[in-house]
Amino acid sequence: MKNSEWIPSGQDYQKSFNAVVTTKEAFENITKVADWWTKSFKGSAKNVNDEFDVSFGPTTVNFKVIESVPYKKLVWLVTDCYLDWLNNKTEWKGTKIVWNISEENKLAKVEMTHVGLVPGIECYKDCESGWNQYVGESLPMLLAGNKGVLYEGSREKQ
């Protein structure tokens, strides 16, 4: 099956958390990728048809925003990538990062699913660890009014 044909399987990587912010603040901060994921960010991650790139040393990922419902949902499609440490360097191509934001008990509930990042693919362990750090720790820190802990260095080949 090609990556672009992946559909949610229930095994896709997911992370969720609650934050003491409005859904608008959560949405706006998710789109500020350089504040919680990597300083090596170019483009815009907010509106439909926006395109952006992130890099981690020699690893690069290109995204296109394919859905944006302000303060509720964002979907980023991986249009191309080069994952330098993997045998399949384009393993993320065609996968989607889906953000759902809702209000729950006066808190913003943020749910992220990486559709196509499933157990058994080469990247899963490393990518799960990365998402746990950036979505599970850095983004919540940013939403709490602190600085996110983002990628700033160079990635050494594993």
Is 3-143 in CATH node 2.60.120.260? no
For 114-122, the CB contacts below 8 A with 24+ separation are 114/12, 114/13, 114/14, 115/6, 115/7, 115/8, 115/12, 116/3, 116/6, 116/12, 116/92, 117/12, 117/13, 117/92, 118/9, 118/11, 118/12, 118/13, 119/11, 121/91, 122/86, 122/87, 122/88, 122/91
Statement: residue 155 has pLDDT above 60? no
- What does residue 27 show for φ and ψ, rounded to 5 degrees? -60, -50
What pLDDT score does 10 carry? 74
Residue range 102-109: mean pLDDT, rounded:
95
pLDDT band with cut points at 50, 70 and 90 for residue 3: very low
Residue 25 has pLDDT above 90, yes or no: yes
Q: Domain boundaries in the chain? A: 3-143
Instruction: Give me the chain's average pLDDT, please.
Output: 91
Please state the rounded mean pLDDT for residues 106-127: 95
Token duo for residue 112: 């992220």
